[in-house]
């Protein structure tokens, strides 16, 4: 039963990253490449009808985490309290940046909310990548100091960074050179993803430029991915153990590589949706590979005093997990209907939507 809910949670998080990821990426593109007003409108039109619905997947994932894995929920939300509050404020500023920009037609007003939207999107992509880095690296569960656990085994708290900026320090920070690397990978990957979505959903003049941006950023992404794989063994002594023991898991890295190298063909694709499909494959394959590499851990311990948090020692009682399946089935059907209708209604190009205009 724990495994079922683990798969459900991971699936929802991957859907969230793919859907809201193109929103973050569009915001990054808006920040750096939305120079003309018509380009800015094209970008906001591409994501306008979708961004708020996409964020529902984050809320739903939090609900499943709270219901199915309450110990992990309590541990993560206390330990990552500071960055989670920052993410909350970034989500707020990103939303109001989209909604308030068109309220007053004044250059200074529009410039302020353009920056709020773009910078918030950039930092959200960075922080979510850093969060993934923390899960891979692990945390100091129990706040062990000099070999003594100062708190209960599932508790931890992290400052934003530590003086050494090292992932091997006893007192870890949220940001170190390893987690920052994954944060930068997230920014580049989601910028590519957002650019592909804009090309897919608009006929904007900026699209040809964005195809070149995707190609160039993909070179950077390949280099960063190779570097991260090369140094992974510094963080985990046996990062490929699960893939060796369960060879079928290699399907996930293969999917990632297919998506990554498919992005190099984005300039030649006749169907605009193929670029978005490739970046989606990369995100799915990369996240699934990361999850598979640490399974069954959900939050590794960096000390030898307290054990890792796994899906088995953080799960709720089996009775509750069993009953929840019935409610989940109802919710899943409703969400599927809602998403189908939304994406059906707003299928095709979005150039004439006029999102945010007043």
Question: CA 304 from chain center: how many Å?
Answer: 30
262-284 pLDDT, tens digit each: 999 888 888 888 999 999 999 99
- Average pLDDT value for residue range 72-77: 90
Is there a contact between 1 and 322 (Cβ–Cβ < 8 Å)? yes
Distance separating alpha carbons of residues 225 and 184, to the nearest angstrom? 10
Question: With contact defined as beta carbons under 8 Å apart, do 184 and 192 qualify?
Answer: no
Token representation of residue 63 = 């609900």
Q: Which of the two residues, 326 and 150, has the higher pLDDT score?
A: 326
Nearest 10 degrees: CA dihedral of 73, 65, 194, 180? 30
**Is pLDDT above 80 for 167?**
yes
Full-model pTM: 0.92
Please check whether residue 17 is in contact with residue 323, taking contact to mean a CB–CB distance below 8 angstroms.
Answer: no
Cβ–Cβ contacts within 10 Å for residue 355, how many?
A: 18
- Is pLDDT above 90 for 259? yes
C-alpha separations of 217 from 45, 103, 210, 304, 340 in Å: 23, 34, 10, 40, 31
Does pLDDT of 25 surpass 70? Answer: yes
pLDDT at 356: 61
Percentage of residues in the chain with pLDDT exceeding 90? 40
Instruction: Give the residue from 358, 338, 328 showing the smallest Cα distance to 12.
Output: 328
Q: Distance between CA atoms of 29 and 32, rounded to whole angstroms?
A: 5
| Stretch 208-212: mean pLDDT | 90
Stronger pLDDT, 323 or 102, i.e. the higher one:
323
CA-to-CA dists, residue 245 to 68, 102, 138, 296, 297, angstroms: 27, 55, 22, 13, 16
φ and ψ at residue 347, rounded to 5 degrees: -75, 160
Residue 118 confidence (pLDDT):
92
Instruction: Note the pLDDT tens digit of each residue in 76-112.
Output: 988 888 888 999 999 998 888 888 877 777 788 888 8
- Report domain extents, the chain: 2-345
Q: What pLDDT does residue 187 have?
A: 96
Considering only residues 285 and 318, tell me which one the structure prediction assigns the higher pLDDT. Answer: 285
Nearest-10 crossing angle of helices 207-235, 107-137: 30
| Angle at the Cα of 56 from the Cα atoms of 32 and 119, rounded to 5 degrees | 20
- CB burial class (10 A; 0-12, 13-18, 19+) of residue 209? middle
Omega cis (within 30) before 296: yes
Q: Report the pLDDT value the prediction gives residue 225, as an integer from 0 to 100.
A: 93
Contact between 31 and 121 under an 8 Å Cβ cutoff? The reply is yes
């Amino acid at each position: 039963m724990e495994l079922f809910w683990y798969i459900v949670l991971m699936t929802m998080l991957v859907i969230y990253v793919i859907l809201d990821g193109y929103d973050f990426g569009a915001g990054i593109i808006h920040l750096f490449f939305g120079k003309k007003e018509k380009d800015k409108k094209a970008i906001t039109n591409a994501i306008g009808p979708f961004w708020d619905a996409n964020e529902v997947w984050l809320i739903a994932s939090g609900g499943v985490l709270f219901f199915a894995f309450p110990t992990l929920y309590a541990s993560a939300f206390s330990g990552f309290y500071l960055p989670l509050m920052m993410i909350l404020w970034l989500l707020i500023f990103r939303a109001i940046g989209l909604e308030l920009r068109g309220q007053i037609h004044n250059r200074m007003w529009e410039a302020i909310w353009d920056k709020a939207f773009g910078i918030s999107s950039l930092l959200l992509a960075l922080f979510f990548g850093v969060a993934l880095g923390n899960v891979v690296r692990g945390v100091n569960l129990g706040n062990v100091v000099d070999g003594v656990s100062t708190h209960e085994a599932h508790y931890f708290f992290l400052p934003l960074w530590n003086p050494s900026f090292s992932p091997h320090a006893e007192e870890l920070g949220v940001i170190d050179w390893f987690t920052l690397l994954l944060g930068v990978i997230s920014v580049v990957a989601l910028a590519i993803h957002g650019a592909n979505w804009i090309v897919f959903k608009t006929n904007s003049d900026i699209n040809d430029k964005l195809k070149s941006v995707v190609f160039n950023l993909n070179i950077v992404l390949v280099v960063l991915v190779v570097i991260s794989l090369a140094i992974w063994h510094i963080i985990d002594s046996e990062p490929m153990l699960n893939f060796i023991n369960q060879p079928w898991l290699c399907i996930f890295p293969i999917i990632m590589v297919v998506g990554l190298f498919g992005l190099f063909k984005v300039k030649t694709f006749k169907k605009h949706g193929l670029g978005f499909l490739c970046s989606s494959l990369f995100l799915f394959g990369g996240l699934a590979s990361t999850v598979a590499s640490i399974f069954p851990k959900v939050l590794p311990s960096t000390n030898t005093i307290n054990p890792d948090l796994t899906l088995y020692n953080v799960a709720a009682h089996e009775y509750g997990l069993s009953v929840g399946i019935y409610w989940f089935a109802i919710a899943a059907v409703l969400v599927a209907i809602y998403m189908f209708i939304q994406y059906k209604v707003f299928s095709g190009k979005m150039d004439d939507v006029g999102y945010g205009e007043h």
